[in-house]
Amino acid sequence: MRILVIESDAPCAEALSFALANAGYEVEHALTGWQGLQILADPEPPDGVLVGHPLADRSGLDVCRAIRGDSDTGLILVSSCTREETMLRAFAAGVDDAVVKPVRVAELTARLGAVLRRRQTQGGGELGGVVERGPFRLHCNRLEAAVAGNPAPVRLTPLEAKLLGLLMLNANQVMTKARLQELIWGYQNDSSGDLLKTHVRHLRVKLEATPSSPRFIQTINGVGYTFVSPRPAAMADLEAPLTTGAIQVGVPAAGRSPLPAPV
C-alpha cells in the first residue's frame, strides 16, 4: 500500500518514512501542503495520508479539510499540538485518527493499519443504509443525522457516524468502552479511550439539545455508553424527562438508580 507523508519537519518526515517503509508500505513525502495536494490530485492517489501540523505553508487542518473534501483516503493528523480543541477541529475536518508528536512507531503503525482496514470495508458493511431510533435518523453512507424537529441534517465525520450507528443499533443497552474502541479503532489503549471520549462529546454537541446534560447519548460511569431510545408512548412528548428503566445493565429494573452524570 502507498502512503503519503505531508510533513515540513524534515527529521520527523524522515523518521515517519523510515518506520512506514519498515512496516512494508510504499512511502512518498511532500514537504508542504501544496505539494501534498498536488500528489493527491494524481489519477492514482495514495491509500493513506499522514498530515503534519503545522506545515511550512499552511495549517495541517486546512490540508485535511481539503483532502477530505475530494477523497475518502485514510487520513491521520500528526500534530505537535496537544490541545483538545485542536483534536476536535481535526476530527471535524474529517480525519480518521490523530497522533501527537513525538510519535511512537508501534502505535502509529497500529493506528494506520486500523484506518486502512476500516476504509477498505466501509460503505457496504454493517452500518450501511439508514438507522432510526427515537427522534434520530442516521444516514450512514451520507454521513448525516436528522433529528426530529430540526429542519437541517447534521453533518458527521466517518468516525462519528460509525460511533453513533453502533450506539443506535444497540439502543438501550450498554456498550463498554473496550468494545467500542475495538470496533472503531481495532485496538485498545489509553489514547483510543481518550479519542472515544472526545467523539462522544462531539456527538453530544452536534445532536443533544443540552450537551452537558444529554438525554440520548448517556454515560454509564466506569463501564461505557448507551443510546437511550424512548418507547413509542414517550415519543409524543420528547420534552418529558427520560427514564432509564429500559437500559439493560444486568440489574433488575426495580433496583436501578438514575444514570450518573456524563464525563
Instruction: Residue 229: give the domain boundaries.
Output: 130-255
**Residues 58, 40: contact at Cβ < 8 Å?**
no
Residue 95: CATH number of its domain: 3.40.50.2300
Taking only the tens of pLDDT, the chain with its 263 residues reads 899 999 999 999 999 999 999 999 999 999 999 999 999 988 888 999 999 999 999 999 999 999 988 888 899 999 988 777 788 788 888 888 888 898 888 888 988 988 887 766 554 344 557 888 888 999 988 889 998 888 789 998 888 888 999 999 888 999 999 889 888 877 666 666 778 888 899 999 999 999 999 999 999 998 999 999 875 444 444 433 333 333 333 333 333 334 344 44
In a domain, 261, yes or no: no
Nearest Cα to Cα of residue 30 among 43, 45, 22: 45
Residues 220, 151 share a domain: yes
- Give first-to-last CA distance, the chain, whole Å: 39
Q: How many structural domains are present in the chain?
A: 2
Lookup: cell for 147: 433529528
Residues 142, 82 share a domain: no
Cβ neighbours for 190, distance < 8 A, ≥ 6 positions apart: none
Q: What is the DSSP letter of 180?
A: H
Residues 48, 150 share a domain: no
The string of DSSP letters for 192-245 reads HHHHHHHHHHHHHHHH-SSTTS-SSEEEETTTEEEE----HHHHT-TTSPPP-T
Q: Return d(Cα 205, Cα 199) in angstroms, integer.
A: 10
Strands 26-30 and 2-6: parallel
**Residues 149, 135: contact at Cβ < 8 Å?**
yes
In Å, how far from its chain's centre is CA 185?
9
Looking at 104, 121, 138, the residue that finishes a domain is: 121
Q: Return d(Cα 227, Cα 142) in angstroms, integer.
A: 21
Residue 240: phi, psi to the nearest 5?
-70, 145
Residue 83: phi, psi to the nearest 5?
-65, 140
In a domain, 66, yes or no: yes
Residues 55, 89 share a domain: yes
Residues 239, 163 share a domain: yes
pTM for this one? 0.58
Looking at 73, 93, 121, the residue that finishes a domain is: 121
Residues 117, 134 share a domain: no
Residue 157: CATH number of its domain: 1.10.10.10
- Tell whether omega for the bond before 45 is within 30 degrees of 0, i.e. cis: no
